[in-house]
Amino acid sequence: MKPGPGTYRVGGKVYASVLGLLSHRPPFVQVVPLSGRYIPKPNDVVIGTVTDVQGTFWLLDIGAPRWAPLHMTGTPWKIDVGETEQYLRVGDSVVVRVENLDPTGRIGVTMLGEGLGKLEGGSIVHVAPARVPRVVGRGGSMIQTITRRTGAQVAVGQNGRVWVNGDPEAIHRVREALRMISEEGQRSGLTERVDSYLRSSGRSGEEGLEEPPQESARRDAPATPFASSPPSEEPDESTDGTTDAWRDENE
């Protein structure tokens, strides 16, 4: 195995440098940390909050070690210099894509692209970035279960921020489901347990809810998760977060 992120090699053996979940993608092995700040990667789709407004750009907090500037040319709007505050204000939430990272650590983001834009209403729930693959699930199974059982709109950023919109009860149930994922993400059968909780907590007659309508973030806000192609670190839900190869060597 070759050492990937979160690991190092000594004397022909690979060790974890952080506490987290093992992910084995031959020939590389990596450990995804269970806590810590989000480390951006190109093409990550993230949810950011506006923290400052300047004449030609906004500063976004995306949970990374540095702020991410969003330039007015990186939006679908035609904006003149000095008009930025008419479009986004401090506290607004947006969905953007990490476009580039320069050697100094500067993070370039854009709002140009499918499903990107300003989020209207709803609330933001935070989960550890390492839990994002479990929030989404294999093939989107987990997020589809959550939206089907609650009727809420849910969008997942790869920085661990989850936007939830719906009636207060639906938002509460989604929050509880996300709490379960955060606390039990390393256990098998998680999707079934979340589905069981949402079934038992739903109002009478909620069984068989149709999928909520999909909408563009530019019109209102997205109903589907942005992290539909989760990072490769998602552990197999049938395991405890380790891989068969790792267990064969260590049991």
Class of domain 122-251: alpha beta
Q: If we measure between CA atoms, which residue out of 103, 102, 159 comes closest to residue 129?
A: 159
Task: Find residue 98's DSSP bridge partners.
Answer: 109
DSSP string for 34-51: SSS-----TT-EEEEEEE
Options 2.40.50.100, 1.20.140.10, 3.40.1260.10, 3.30.2290.10; which CATH number does 1-33 get? 2.40.50.100
By 3-state DSSP, what share of the chain in percent is helix, strand and coil, each rounded to 5?
Answer: 25, 25, 45
* Domain at 45-119: CATH code: 2.40.50.140
State pLDDT tens for residues 186-228.
777 888 999 999 999 876 444 444 444 333 333 333 334 343 3
The structural domains of the chain, with segments of one domain joined by +, span 1-33, 45-119, 122-251
Judged against a pLDDT cut of 60, whether residue 236 lies above it is answered with: no
State pLDDT tens for residues 102-145.
888 889 999 999 999 999 999 999 998 888 988 998 889 999 99
In this chain, the answer to whether the domains covering 1-33 and 45-119 adopt an identical fold is yes
Report the alpha-carbon distance of residue 175 to residue 165 in Å, rounded.
11
How many residues does the structure list for the chain?
A: 251
DSSP string for 158-197: TTSEEEEES-HHHHHHHHHHHHHHHHHTTSTTHHHHHHHH
